[in-house]
Amino acid sequence: MTKRHALTAMQTKKLEAGKYGDGQGLWLHKRNRSWGRWFLRFVVDGRRREMGIGPWPDVTIAEAREHAANARRSARFGIDPIEERKKRRQRAHRLTVSEAVQGCFEARQAELKGDGIAGRWMSPLSLHVLPKIGKIAIEDLDQHKIKNVLEPIWHTKADTARKAMNRLSLTLKHAAALDIDVDLQAVMKARALLGKQRHEVKHIPAMPYNELPAFYRWLSKQPYQSCLALRLLILTVTRTSEVRLANKDEFEGGIWIIPAERTKTGVERRVPLDDECLKIIEQAKQHSTSDFLFSSPTGKAMSDAAMAQLMIREGYDYRPHGFRASFRTWVEEQTDMPFEVKESCLGHKVDTGIVGAYQRSDRLDKRRELMEKWANFVS
C-alpha cells in the first residue's frame, strides 16, 4: 500500500536537490536547498499524466496535498485535471473581438489569395468595426453591437458593410470552435435589424468600343509611361494590377505568363501577345529602371493610380478597368467566338466542376486569334 504523507514541512526544508515522494503520486522536486516544485503523477482513462502543482516553498506541503487530492478526485471520474486547468485559464482570459478576428484570419489564410497579405480580408473590419468594438469580449458580441457599428455604412458603403458582416459571422464560428459561448445567430439578427440596403450597384465606367480606336491613336502619340501601360492593358484586356506589377521576365516570345499569385483566380495565366504588344513591351523595357516592366523613377512598380489619373487629367469619365467591359461588349456584338473563348480572354474561370476536371486546355490558339482581331480593331 502506498504510504501517505511521507514528507513533513520540516523535512522539505532540509532535503538536498533531488526528487522525493509524499505518497499517492505527489512528488517534490528540489532544485537546491531553497527552491523546488511540486508535481503529481496520475492515470486518467489509462493514460499516464504529470501535472505541476506549484513552486516550493511558495506552495506549502498542505496546499500541495489539497491540490493533489482535488486532481485525483477529477481523474477518478475520467476528467483530466490538466485539461480542466487549461479551460479555466482560457475562461479567465476573455478573448476579445480583435483577437478572435485575427485568429479567424490566420486560420483562413491558406484559402486567401497571396495568404491575404494585401489586407483585403481584414480591411472592412480594421476600418469600420475593430476601432469601435475590438476590445470587447467576443462572447459579449450581440446583434445590437453589430447593428450599431455597421449602421453608418449600411447604405452608403453597402459592399463594405456586407463583407464586414460576412467576416464577423466567420469569426463567431471560429470562436465557437474554440469552445467559447458565442451567439452564432448574432449576425443574422443584426441583418434583420438593419433591413434591406438602399444601394444601387455602380459599374466601373467603360469607354464605348467605337471610341477606342481614336483614344488608342492619341495614347500612341504620348510619351508617358502610363500611356504605354494603358496601351498594353487595352490590347491584352488584363487587370490594372497585372499590368503595373508585370515583371520583365514574365514575357517569353509571344506569350505573357502571369504567375498565379497575381491572378484573381489564383491560377497561372498565359496571355497571347500580338506584334503591337511586343513593340510596347520592348519600348517599356528601355525606359524601366528595375525588374518591373513599368517602373517609377525610384524603381518601384508603377503607382496603382497612375493610369486612372491620366484619364482623369485628360477629362475622361472612364476608368482603366472599364476597357475589359469595352472588349466584352465588342466581342459579343462583332464576333461569333464561343462564350468560353470570350471569357477566357478576360481570365475568367469557365471550366468548373466535372468539366474542369477533364477540360484542361487554356484555349491559347483560339484566344490568340480573337486577341489579334481585337488589336487590329483598336490600333
pLDDT value of position 358: 66
Residue 98 has a pLDDT of 94
- Given a contact cutoff of 8 angstroms between Cβ atoms, the answer to whether 346 and 331 are in contact is no
Task: Note the pLDDT of residue 91.
Answer: 61
Render pLDDT for 36-76 as a digit per residue (tens, 0 to 9): 999 999 988 888 989 999 999 999 999 999 999 999 988 88
| Predicted pLDDT at 229 | 95
Q: What is the torsion angle, in degrees rounded to the nearest 10, for the CA atoms of residue 229, residue 233, residue 239 and residue 243?
A: -30
User: Which regions in the chain score pLDDT beneath 70?
Assistant: 1-3, 90-92, 114-115, 118, 199-202, 355-358
Q: Using CB atoms within 10 Å of the CB of residue 270, give its burial: 0 to 12 exposed, 13 to 18 middle, 19+ buried.
A: middle
pLDDT at 355: 66
Dihedral over Cα of 309, 311, 317, 320: its sign: negative
Each residue's pLDDT tens digit, 222-268 = 988 999 999 999 999 999 999 999 999 999 889 999 998 888 888 89
Architecture of domain 9-91: 2-Layer Sandwich (3.30)
> What pLDDT does residue 376 have?
95
Give me the pLDDT at residue 298, please: 87
Rounded (10°) angle between helices 225-236 and 275-287: 150
Q: Check if the beta carbon of residue 228 is closer than 8 Å to that of residue 294.
A: yes
At 226, list the grid cell: 502610363
Homologous superfamily (CATH) for 209-378: Intergrase catalytic core (1.10.443.10)
Q: Where are the domains positioned within the chain?
A: 9-91, 97-194, 209-378
CATH superfamily of this structure's domain 97-194: Tyrosine recombinase, N-terminal domain (1.10.150.130)
